Structure 1
Amino acid sequence: MANNALSGTGCRVDVKITFREPEKRSIMAKVKVGFIGCGGRAGAHFQKLVTFKEDVELVGYADVILARAENFRNKAGEGKAYTCYKQMLDETKPDAVVIAVEPCAHGAIELAVVERNIHFIIEKPMDLDICAAENISNLVAQKRIITSVGFQDRYQDITDKAVELLAGRRIGLVEGAWVGGIPGVWWWRKQETSGGQIIEQNIH
């Protein structure tokens, strides 16, 4: 990887990256999945994936807090825990990863995953910098990597109804309300780490 400068405030960020050829695997082989980030959001993906034992092998879990990665490993009964996501990627060689980290932690992680030609699902937002997110999107398209961003609310039936009701109309006022407590995670209340509510919540 020649350039990893994604934190600038300008809109043009040139990223040069060296791609690796995908490994050829048996069509009947299990899909090897790793986790980068083993906190609360990752837990939702984990609970689903452990039910697909016949098709999925959980090979690695990376988190800056080793105990969280070890917790996933112990619950799954397979794979290895790491504090370094690059080490996890290189040693376990997953086919796909779940990226569930704080909004402010995106950037280098996605570049490392794309460089290794690994498919991924990422928790929103892709990045706090729209230009950095666009660069990742372009790199993914170049490599035809399968990706998804965790916008689960867009798949609810009420979303389709809202689109139907608003079709052809100009929106003049949007009101919203948050019912319940505020998540206890450290980054949620700070705009510089969460992006603020427009990016952290309204992006849904």
Structure 2
Amino acid sequence: MSPTARPRTRIQQKNRDTILDAALEVFSVHGFRGATLDQIAEVARLSKPNLLYYFPSKEAVHQALLTGLLDTWLDPLRKMNPAGDPVAEILGYVRRKLDLARDFPRESRLFAGEILQGAPRMRPAIEGDLKALVDEKAVILTRWMDEGRIARVSPVHLIFSIWALTQHYADFEVQVRAVLGAGHDPFAEAQDYLDTLFRKLLAPND
């Protein structure tokens, strides 16, 4: 019987979590195509047959990671409160996305790698849950613009720009740290810069 067909024991859950953490490390470094089950088993310190007991293929491990990742990625945008102050809510979203880039860089690179490949395993979720959430928040952003509370810009491209300007610090962290040099905290500096940038962008037109 498959370990997923009945409640998992504590050891089974621990082994499954260990495999997923190892897979996240391997996929974030080597990408889906470059990763192998042997590499994942080695990082997990489990035998390959033991790994295959939990996941029948590399694709199955990758899919399990992506399934859990999407909820993590959507949560910061879900928290944007339509009843809150528009600028505070948008800046809060920027900060949450930057925190996500700082705290989950491997997950960010995993997601970026999937998108760069054309999202073969995530397209339904992107065209479904992700698009629906962006559409919902775009309506809120447009209402704030109609009320004159923030400047009028494309709401969807505003969200795209937040993604680009926050996830960059995870996906290109080596480059960021190399250019800044020693003694810099890229995420703290980025937060100050992005707060200033978006405050100016969102200031209502006179």
TM-score by length of structure 2 reads 0.24
- The structure where strand makes up a greater share of residues is 1
Question: Which one has a bigger Cα radius of gyration?
Answer: 2
TM-score by length of structure 1 reads 0.25
- The structure where helix makes up a greater share of residues is 2
Greater RCO, 1 or 2 (C-alpha within 8 Å, sep 6+):
2
